Chain A
Amino acid sequence: MIELGDVTKTFPNGTRAVDGVSLRVAAGEFVSLLGPSGCGKSTLLRITAGLAPPTSGTVAAPWLNGGRDAGGQLGYVFQQPTLLPWSSVSSNVYLPLRLAGRRRRDAAPLVDAALEMVGLSDFRRARPRELSGGMQMRVSVARALVGQPTALLLDEPFAALDEITRNRIDDDLLKLWTQQRWAAVFVTHSVYEAVYLSTRVLVMSPRPGRIIDEIAIDLPQPRTPAVRGLPRFAELCERVSAALAAGMEATANA
């Protein structure tokens, strides 16, 4: 469903952020892009979303075919909650539908369902700043899922949260994915998070970002927190860490 062919991105100042990346994501897959900070993984996600054009290469995704309601296909979770501070929680979740021309009354069941999914039904009238960081991020996830997208792009969404909160949101995200099976592209620099959530992990090198390894995650589905205790989980984490370290070393020697 998502296909990138030999994508390169060079910024106007000459910095090459992404170098010849090709990847495919099939419907219902959960793919993580894992790499050190500054390796161009966020840039890659922005290109995939259509927020930035690649310098060269091809990008194919359903939402890039034009048309105003093409946005309905895609959900996007930013690094920050990126909520409108002047709008209530439910208005924030309603926003993608509103921009797609859906009337508030018609959209209300979808908004309610999305808030229910992230466990924030009681906070629909609150303003974002009245919520904790974790709750704000949940609202952001609800907003990304309210249009029932076929793909969800997540840009290091929970990096700013404490570990306990992050693990809980990861569990909730996994539960939603198991139920709804959108394709997910998850950008992260946490090895454990990538292995725990994904069906496949793509390891990137430091800048300019290239995909240097691809590791299928064959942990049992549906995943539960218990998965984190399995020997296979530790094994895969080690394997991914090794790939990451190899990439760092190769760049350092170059």
Chain B
Amino acid sequence: MNARELPTRSAAVRWAQRLAPLAVGLVVLGAWEWAVRHWEVEPYVVPAPSQVLATLRERWSELAPAWAVTLRTMGLALTAAAVSGALLAALFASSRWVAASLFPYAIVLQVTPLVAIAPLLALWLRSRFEWVHLICAWIVAFFPVLSNTVAGLRSADRAHHDLFTLYGASPWARLRLLLAPSALPYFLAGLRIAGNLSLVGAVVAEFVTGAVGDESGLASLILGSQMRLDTPMVFAALTLVSLTGIAVYFALGLLSYLLLRRWHDSALPR
């Protein structure tokens, strides 16, 4: 035996680590199922996981359209947040004056509670709810993209800046070939936060406006079901919200990995 062994992680350990969250979930669900059955809890108080699953299956025709609406709001808001956040960050990076003049207002936008803005937006937009939801989701998702990208654009290496100065780079070439790639890891980290915030934003906005009708998403479904004490439906809708959040988080993580794996420390194996 060597006196000191380097810690090596076998494939088995790595797989165990990946499956650990799944195991935790199964144990919790099992305990929940058992508890509901054991104490005979009424479904309108707490439904058992098996009932939630059954609701998901049997009432999919109600859930699917609502899910699609929420997904669309989230997707559009996230896209808008990514584009506007990156463009505004580039504008900030191009001029200290612009950055200093506008950044406080970006913060104001960020700290104003969504529940206060949403009714106002509903008033101003004359109840075009899909726009209200979209703007709300965008407002919360846009700030992490902006602030992260600004930090990323400023993080470009000094020696690299010298290199570009030395070879007479135009501002546009500097932005495209130096600043943008330097900011990419930061932008992607911001996008990962924005992904889930846009989901939260979409759901909260629906709650606040209390939109009902054809164009209503998962939150409206939850509100309506709550009023009818249809708790299994509330849980089914919440399950979809959670699954969406987890999927978006991992999808954006994968995107980040694919874009950075050849050069950035964050995406390299240790």
Contact = CB atoms under 8 A, between A and B. Distances in A.
B181 A70 contact: no
A80 B162 CA distance: 12
Contact of B167 (A46, A85, A95, A128): A95
Given A69-B168, A70-B168, A99-B173, A78 B163 contact: yes
Contacts of A78: 159, 162-163
A85 B264 contact: yes
Interface in A85-106: 85-87, 95-96, 98-100
B32 interface: no
A175 interface: no
A79 B163 CA distance: 12
Contacts of B165: 51
A24 interface: no
Contacts of A98: 173, 177
A86 B263 contact: yes
A72 to B, nearest CB: 8
A164 to B, nearest CB: 25
B169 A129 contact: no
A17 interface: no
B168 A71 contact: yes
For this complex, into which size category does the number of interface residues on chain B fall?
20 to 34
B181 A51 contact: no
Contacts of B164: 99
A80 B159 contact: yes
Contacts, number: 57
B178 interface: yes
A49 interface: yes
Interface in B248-268: 262-264
B157 interface: yes
Contact of A82 (B160, B170, B263, B264): B160
B166 interface: yes
A95 B264 contact: no
Interface in A35-73: 46, 49-51, 68-71
A96 B178 contact: no
Given A84-B178, A127-B263, A100 B159 contact: no
A74 interface: yes
Task: Identify which of B162, B164, B165 gathers the most chain A CB atoms within 10 Å of its CB.
Answer: B162
A143 to B, nearest CB: 9
B159 A76 contact: no
Task: Identify which of A49, A85, A96 gathers the most chain B CB atoms within 10 Å of its CB.
Answer: A85
Given A51-B165, A82-B163, 14 more contacts: A51-B166, A69-B168, A70-B168, A79-B159, A80-B159, A82-B162, A86-B263, A95-B163, A95-B167, A96-B167, A99-B167, A99-B168, A99-B177, A127-B263
9 contacts: A51-B162, A68-B168, A68-B170, A76-B166, A78-B159, A84-B177, A99-B164, A99-B177, A127-B263
